[in-house]
Chain A
Amino acid sequence: MPITNRHEQTILAPIRRVGMGDYLLWGSLLVLMLAGLGAWIWQYIEGLGITGMNRPVYWGVYITNFVFFIGLAHSGTFISAILRVAGQSWRAPLTRAAEAITLFSLPFGAGSILIDMGHPERILNLIFYGRFQSPIMWDVTAVGLYMLSSIVFFYLSLLPDIALCRDRLTDVPNWQKRMYKVLALGWKDSPEQYHRLEKVLDGMAVFMTMLVVTVHTVVSWLFGMTVQPGWHTALIGPFFLLGAILSGTAAVVIALALLRKVYHLEEVLHNGLFNSLRKLLITFILGWLYMMIAEHLTIGYASMHEEMVVLNDKFSGTYSLVFWNMTVLVFFVPLLIFIFKGKNNVGWMVFASVLINIGMWMERYIVIIPTETSPRLFHEMGGGSYLPALPEVLITIACFAGLVFLYALFTRFFPIIPIWETAESLPGHAHNAEPAPVSSTATGD
């Protein structure tokens, strides 16, 4: 019996029509990406001196972007792997949209490190002279393995749908048909294949869950293993991880709402899914606030001189505007929206999720820069100041444009909703998929 999914035509519709609007979007994003590439070449030739970074501010927006994109990448693993392990079947329609964010954020996260190096070929030093004492060694290993595993996890769960495109999309160009044929690896829709696929995905979900914790903890240790004020705390690992899952889940809400609107997927991506995500987001926001208070209260109560310089800079000094705005954007406004306005209202949900992501980028910035401008060896190195220069701004815009470009491109060539995972029946009944409820008030609540 072939795959039966009553939403198949709706899900495949975006693949059948690539319009002028798509070309315009892709073109504009490519222009932004080219501007970023130009800025990077300029930086490569002139050196990092043309950026806003200076002594002692060695890390700027590139590292902010690195932490932010890696955090964003946690969305896919959270929705797909962690909820899979927890047996949450409502997540099925969301998985691919979330995993795609992971897949397309990671290159820009890892790429930000290469950009920050000035000369990316320096990464080879890690292979030739790598030392276990170096947190960057752990970082490259964890992020690299996470990227590889995410690609495999994503590709495996996409495999039956690529085969479906190969078999059912007869009105697409020949090159596209050939692409599906090659990528489908000869998938035959046999019950045994589905059985094996489910088995491997279940196993990988457990591994990915461990990886996701490892990756962002290791990212945070890049900071935590130094003795710099504001960074040297055991809380930094869970604090970073929670922030990452919060921004990632908020990014999923934005992506899903856009997909639903642009591709008319209201029946598949119903309000019930958004309500479930809303409840998760409320939990994450409260968890993040707990971490925030625990972190700053401990430091403030101890009143160590170097720590207090950074803390005062955040609370009432140079960076107070960024700090308090960040708190309002990540905590106060989204929480009020989710509790009082967000239920069954996707527009408000998206608004709150955008605020969360802007706030989380600011949070990454506020973690990095105040410590850099007031390092522990302040009396020897002197204080510093930092303002991103033009190349950094252009490269940052290009990274975000790149993420949107890859995402938009993907949705035009592959089903963004997993057809086989949301199917009513599969060959040999190997998969017990429950059809997603269509009522706007169903599930979550």
Chain B
Amino acid sequence: MDIGGLVHTFFNNAGPGGVVVMLIFGTACTIYFFLTRWIVSGGRDEAAIPDEQSVSVDA
């Protein structure tokens, strides 16, 4: 397999650039979404502990 040729084609053809731009933005959006969710869920984890305990006691 001609890896060099493939890389050359990738960099010298119209099109792949746009794919990479979309990929970068997509990845960034996903990372930021999960980071925000992780930060906000910090409080929920703590709030959930007493509820879980009370459920287990009842059981």
Interface residues of A (CB under 8 A from B): 126-134, 137, 140-141, 144-145, 148-149, 152, 155-156, 159, 185-190, 192-197, 200
Quick one: given A131-B14, A132-B11, are A141 and B43 in contact (CB under 8 Å)?
no
Residues from chain B with Cβ under 8 Å of A131 in the complex: 12-14, 17
**Could you tell me the distance between the alpha carbons of A134 and B25 in the complex, rounded to whole angstroms?**
18
**Could you tell me the distance between the alpha carbons of A106 and B14 in the complex, rounded to whole angstroms?**
28
**Pick the contact of B21 from A141, A186, A189, A195 — CB < 8 Å?**
A141
By the criterion CB–CB under 8 Å, are B39 and A130 in contact? no
By the criterion CB–CB under 8 Å, are A187 and B18 in contact? no
Quick one: given A195-B42, A197-B39, A200-B39, are A148 and B25 in contact (CB under 8 Å)?
yes
Quick one: given A144-B25, A192-B46, are A132 and B40 in contact (CB under 8 Å)?
no
By the criterion CB–CB under 8 Å, are B46 and A190 in contact? yes
B59 to chain A, nearest CB (A): 27
A129-B15, A156-B39, A193-B42 are known; give 6 further A-B pairs, CB within 8 A: A127-B21, A127-B22, A130-B16, A148-B25, A149-B28, A152-B35
A140 to chain B, nearest CB (A): 7
A-B pairs with lowest CB-CB distance, top 6: A130-B17, A188-B43, A190-B43, A192-B42, A130-B18, A193-B42
Residues from chain B with Cβ under 8 Å of A145 in the complex: 24-25, 28
By the criterion CB–CB under 8 Å, are A148 and B29 in contact? yes
By the criterion CB–CB under 8 Å, are B29 and A193 in contact? no
**Could you tell me the distance between the alpha carbons of A137 and B42 in the complex, rounded to whole angstroms?**
38
Which residue in chain B gives the minimum CB-CB distance to A198?
Answer: B39
**Could you tell me the distance between the alpha carbons of A129 and B16 in the complex, rounded to whole angstroms?**
8
